[in-house]
Amino acid sequence: MVSLQLDGRTVVVTGAGQGQGAAEARMLVEAGARVIATDLAADMPAGLAVVSSTSPGALVYRQLNVSDASGWSDLAQWIRSQGWQVDGLVNNAGITQRSRLLDASVADLQNVYEVNVAGVLLGIQTLAPLMASSSAIVNVGSVAGLTAHYPEAYTASKWALRGLSQVAAMELGPRGIRVNSVHPGFIETPMTASAKAEFRQATMAETPLGRTGSVEEVAGVVLFLLSPLSSFVTGAEIPVDGGQSGHGGAKSVSDAMR
| Nearest-5° Cα angle at 80, 79 to 82 | 65
- Choosing from 61, 113, 150, 154, the catalytic residue is 154
Inter-residue contact 126 to 77 (CB < 8 Å): no
Helix axes 152-172, 119-127, angle to 10 degrees: 20
Site residues (vs ligand NAD, CB under 6 A) = 14-15, 17-21, 39-40, 64-67, 92-95, 115, 119, 140, 142, 184, 186-187, 189-192
Question: By C-beta, is 55 or 63 nearer to ligand NAD?
Answer: 63
Q: Which is nearer to ligand NAD, 122 or 128 (CB)?
A: 122
Q: Which of 29, 11, 27, 22 is nearest to 221 (CA)?
A: 27
Please tell me the total number of residues recorded for the chain in this structure: 258
Q: Tell me whether residue 113 is one of the annotated catalytic residues.
A: no
Phi, psi of 86, deg, nearest 5: -110, 125
Q: How far is the CB of 36 from ligand NAD (least distance, A)?
A: 13
Burial of 61 (0-12, 13-18, 19+ CB in 10 A): buried
Smallest gap from Cβ 197 to ligand NAD, in A, equals: 15
CB of 88 vs ligand NAD, minimal distance in Å: 16
Residue 93 and residue 18: Cα distance in Å, rounded?
10
Active site residues: 154
